[in-house]
Amino acid sequence: MSSKLQPRSARCIFLGYSVSKSAYKCYDPISHRLYHSRHVQFVDHIFPFGNDVASLVPLPTADSFLSSSDSDPSDHEAPPVPPTDPPLPRFPPSSAQHPAQVNNPPGSPTSGPSSVSTTSPTTPPHHSSNSSSSSTSTHSPVSPNLTPIPMQPFETSTPNVATSPASDDTHSSPPPRTRKPNSKYFNPNFVNTATIHPLPPTIEPSTHTQALRDPNWRQAMDLEFNALIQNQTWDLVPPTSHSPIGCKWVFRVKRNPDETIEKYKARLVAKGFLQQYGKDYFDTFSPVTKPVTIRTVLSIALSKNWPLRQLDVNNAFLHGTLHEDVYMTQPPGYENSEFPHHICKLKKSLYGLKQAPRAWYIELANFLLHFGFQKSLADASLFIYRKSDIVCYFMVYVDDIVLTGNDSAFLDKFINTLSNRFSIKDLGLLHHFLGIEVIHTTQGLFLSQHRLIQYVLTQFHMDGAKDVMTPLSISDPLVPMDSSPTVDATPYRRLVGSLQYLAFTRPDISFAINKLSQFMHASRQSHLQAIKRVLRYLKGSIHHGLFLRRHSPLKLSAFSDSDWGGVHDAGRSTTAYVLYLGTNVISWKSARQKSVSRSSTEAEYKALANATAELLWVKNLLHELGISITTSPTLFCDNTGATYLCANPVYHSRMKHVALDYHFVRELITAGQLRVFHVNSHDQLADMLTKPLSRALFLRNRSKIGVSDGSSILRGRIKETDLKESSK
């Protein structure tokens, strides 16, 4: 969180004077923003680019800021170059082994360092008419007039510039006439291209032909292909009447938590979108543990001080066995020379096939059941081992596994047995799971997604936006149809999808996601501005996350709330609840009700029923985990009429139309399995999941639903204010 006393100045580059206002023009090379300000302090003895200008190609950079239609080409003529030998490249000879790290702009020749006279000075440089659409990276502009060159190994030999025709033309041509630069436009000579737009350290190839020219990617492809052959994934057979599906290579750079390169990963993926249901696949299923299950198991492990282990399955989908006849073309670049026209009849599942996740799950489940585990009825991706005094929980999320139990020796033995059956990588203590950073402290676990937040901000060019304190504004209600123009729905939907995954550890943005997801079919400018506000809020709270406290009592409680008629266009209400296991938040929801409510009491009654259903599900899950709840779950509601309606069949004339399945709450209260109490609206913690709140009330409730500042976690403790507020 920013402070008003912290330094506000930014290090910029002086570009000149503004023609529209009495101010200086300053460029920030970090955020790539242009400022007009009168409050400038000049530092004359520091040059921002050092000695890099002499060793770089003076390419035009004005297309990063202006389109070519706004500038005169004659204003960007290249300056004359003295007829001297070009400087040697400043790359060490070892860079030849990593061609992707060469600091050349994309689309330029990569065979060696370019001379400073690659273009005739009388020829004006070409500018892009739309620099934002012609670039595939936010760091390096790509000219649309240049076709991408496949990746090639970097050659360290210096080209002979003296015999180059371009160099001869440059030396023989007369120097261009000097024009006075137009102060209206940005002068590209002021800025170093490589300094503003650095190339990414690695480039992921898009085709296998590009990858085969790089030794790193070639080695990754060889490892993947050899693993498929050793696993006996397919048999080469002559072409049949079945139409084979295609396959392709997918390349990714796997990184460590500190952003260093871990390895180059190549994966052969089948084109499963060409499969036909009923012919080469039937049922589909993916082993994905519910987020509520993950948070519940973590809370139990913390309360019992159990170790948390993390495993990763190498090539998980390749372990599954196919029961359907699936034919595939041979992998590109690895065709059999003796049988080039044969096709692959798959025996094992492969990434990309529709039935591959289900085949892997069946193989894993059979092994676990044979070992002695039991499959949970509440969550099919949770397996429980209970024998004598040994208890073990096994959660699988596709190929990521979290393991915990009360016996460390048993965990080690089980991991060894599992490694003998599958290719398992033991990652030790749980630290990163599904893109979530898990920080262990003496007081509990802190779950953070700050790296993913930063990635989303960078992808949507919001990393330089100003912070806000709340995700939604209370003064600008969102409606489906307004006077603002429509926008492209594709980036809007991508943003909503990214925010939905971020809500795994951020219940404070659940209502904003619920509200903004209602406009994906017809997105408007006002909706886009609202979702950008959510990104600005996340930028200001990027280090916030969900904190699970250690030694929390194992008892269930929940807060239920509803905003009657909050969805103005449909006349429906918003349902929300927050569920606690002791002092830890394990479940929350913010959703629009399925039917119209005729009164606030009816809307609150329906919200109570939804919260009760979630309480029963979690109670059954705890029972399977061997956790007995001695006291009945407690449910808090801020509507007096709804609390009366739960305990007594009152307001009969007003509740005739309510569906019968909502009345099961009465049966639970009568049986003593549920307790419902009234709570003041000021203390209703689920209120922030039904409507936008003021800044003071929002920040007060945010700390009470488990969202804490991670900067204090890194110092080894939680702020005392957060602890006191959450214990209330």
- DSSP structure class, residue 362: H
Binned average pLDDT, 10 residues per bin, the chain of 728 residues: 74 88 89 88 78 44 38 40 40 38 38 37 40 38 36 36 39 48 40 36 81 90 91 90 91 80 90 90 90 94 93 89 92 91 92 92 94 93 93 94 93 93 91 89 90 90 89 82 79 89 91 88 86 92 91 90 71 87 92 78 86 92 90 89 75 60 77 88 88 89 87 56 45
Taking the alpha carbons of 291, 292, 296, 299 in that order, is the dihedral positive or negative? positive
In 613-664, DSSP assigns E strands to 634-637
The predicted pLDDT at position 683 comes to 87
C-alpha dihedral (47, 51, 52, 53), degrees to nearest 10: 80
Residue 358's CB is within 10 A of a number of other CB atoms, namely: 20
Q: Which residues have CB under 8 Å from 654's CB, separation 6+?
A: 598, 599, 601, 602
Which single residue is written with the structure tokens 């096994």? Answer: 394
Task: Identify each DSSP E strand in 66-160 by its residue range.
Answer: none
Neighbouring residues of 157: CB distance < 8 A, sequence distance ≥ 6:
112
> Tokens 């006002």 sit at which residue?
526
Q: Which two tokens stand for residue 709?
A: 């500042």
Distances (CA, A) of 533 to 430, 521, 572, 702, 710: 33, 20, 25, 17, 21
User: How many helices (H) does the chain have, and how many strands (E)?
Assistant: 17, 24
pLDDT tens figures, 660-709: 666 778 888 888 888 989 988 888 898 888 888 888 899 888 988 889 88
- Among candidate residues 486, 489, 516, the one with its CA nearest the CA of residue 502: 516
Task: Mention every residue, 6+ apart, whose C-beta is less than 8 A from residue 132.
Answer: none
Nearest of 636, 306, 320 to residue 445 by alpha carbon: 306
List all residues 6 or more positions away from 568 whose beta carbon is below 8 Å from its beta carbon: 477, 479
pLDDT of residue 726: 46
pTM: 0.69
Query: Cα torsion for 179, 185, 187, 191, to the nearest 10°?
Result: 180
Burial class from Cβ neighbours inside 10 Å (0-12, 13-18, 19+) for residue 297 reads: buried
| Residue from 434, 241, 245, 498 nearest 355 by CA | 245
Residue 719's contacts (CB-CB under 8 Å, 6 or more residues apart) are 708, 709, 712
Nearest C-alpha neighbor of 240 from the set 346, 353, 355: 346
Give how far Cα 408 sits from Cα of 403, 413, 415, 527, 653, Å: 11, 9, 11, 51, 60
Structural domains of the chain ordered from first start: 7-48 (no CATH), 54-195 (no CATH), 208-434 (no CATH), 446-545 (no CATH), 553-692 (3.30.420.10)
Q: What is the pLDDT of residue 62?
A: 36
Q: Is 44 exposed, middle or buried (0-12, 13-18, 19+ CB in 10 A)?
A: exposed
Helix (H) or strand (E) run with residue 443 in it: none
Cα separation, 97 vs 219, whole angstroms: 13
Supply the pLDDT for residue 635. 92
